[in-house]
Amino acid sequence: MDPLTLPARSWLFVPATRPDRFAKAAASGADRIIIDLEDAVGIETKDTARDSLPQTTLPDSVPVYVRINAATTPWFERDLAVAATLPITGILLPKADSPNDVARAVRRLPDSFLVVPIIETAAGAWNVLTVAQSPNVERLVFGALDFQLDTGMYDEGGTFDFIRSRVAVASRVAKIAAPVDSVCLSINDESQIAADAARGRRFGCCGKLCIHPNQVRVANATFRPTDDEIEWAKAVLAERASRPTDAVFSHRGALVDRPVIERANQIVTLASAINRP
């Protein structure tokens, strides 16, 4: 199961203190599961939650990650040591402020493990490209809530547009997978969840962090090509196949050239991956 070839639309958190929910999370339809040792676990239970993971059965039907505690915390090294023994895809690295934070994690993990840095501080946003270019980085996550806490800025009225753009552009320059957007705090208002996810998609994100199973279906629907997009893409590629010598042509009254053809290929490829059993 290569995570880089699988859809990454929904990343569902489950507290490390609730192993009874691990299988339920994996059955929720989420593309990724994140066992959380950071914000979902209180200080007094962090050691117990972490040290119990090697004795816990982890899902194997979807890629599983562990969100460890940040490099500045006293739990960082032990979190890495335990995570390195688990049958997981990799880790989420919170408050990834510099390439050194990633390097410290990579040194303690198996070579096969992927690292997903969370950009959620001013320092992380400033150093985002060098973080993205660090070894073993799969993709980036934007953490709006902690970014707000760190900077005093609010995610309203487009305030964080620059940061989302910066994360997306850095991901592309570093040639890593597309980023994942921050959580939506609403767990029942589907229109709000969908609007929040749609914003992330506009900024080049491939998926969204989810804090409740109710959010998974909406995220999955938002970050998949629509039926109209799939129909358009297949029609463009069919016409391209019928005129292989034409580098540029008109399709339904619109110009089609290389970028349009490549976009059509991306849509069909993503749709096929999502529909793959």
Q: CA-to-CA distance for 130 and 174, rounded, in angstroms?
A: 8
Model pTM?
0.88
All residues at 6 or more sequence positions from 199 whose CB lies less than 8 Å from its CB, including other chains: 181
Q: Which domains does the chain have, with CATH numbers?
A: 3-222 (3.20.20.60), 227-275 (no CATH)
Asked whether the beta carbons of 193 and 218 are under 8 A apart, the reply is: yes
Asked whether the beta carbons of 213 and 235 are under 8 A apart, the reply is: no
Q: CA-to-CA distance for 217 and 208, rounded, in angstroms?
A: 11
What distances in angstroms separate CA 106 from CA 39, 110, 162, 178, 223, one per listed residue? 22, 8, 29, 20, 30
- Give me the pLDDT at residue 277, please: 45
Per-residue pLDDT of the chain (277 residues; tens, 9 = 90+): 677 778 999 999 999 999 999 999 999 999 999 999 999 999 999 999 999 999 999 999 999 999 999 999 999 999 999 999 999 999 999 999 999 999 999 999 999 999 999 999 999 999 999 999 999 999 999 999 999 999 999 988 899 999 999 999 999 999 999 999 999 999 999 999 999 999 999 999 999 999 999 999 999 999 987 777 777 778 778 888 888 888 887 888 888 778 777 777 777 777 777 765 4
- Give me the pLDDT at residue 276, please: 52
Evaluated on CA atoms 126, 130, 132, 134, the torsion sign reads: negative
Q: CA-to-CA distance for 267 and 205, rounded, in angstroms?
A: 14
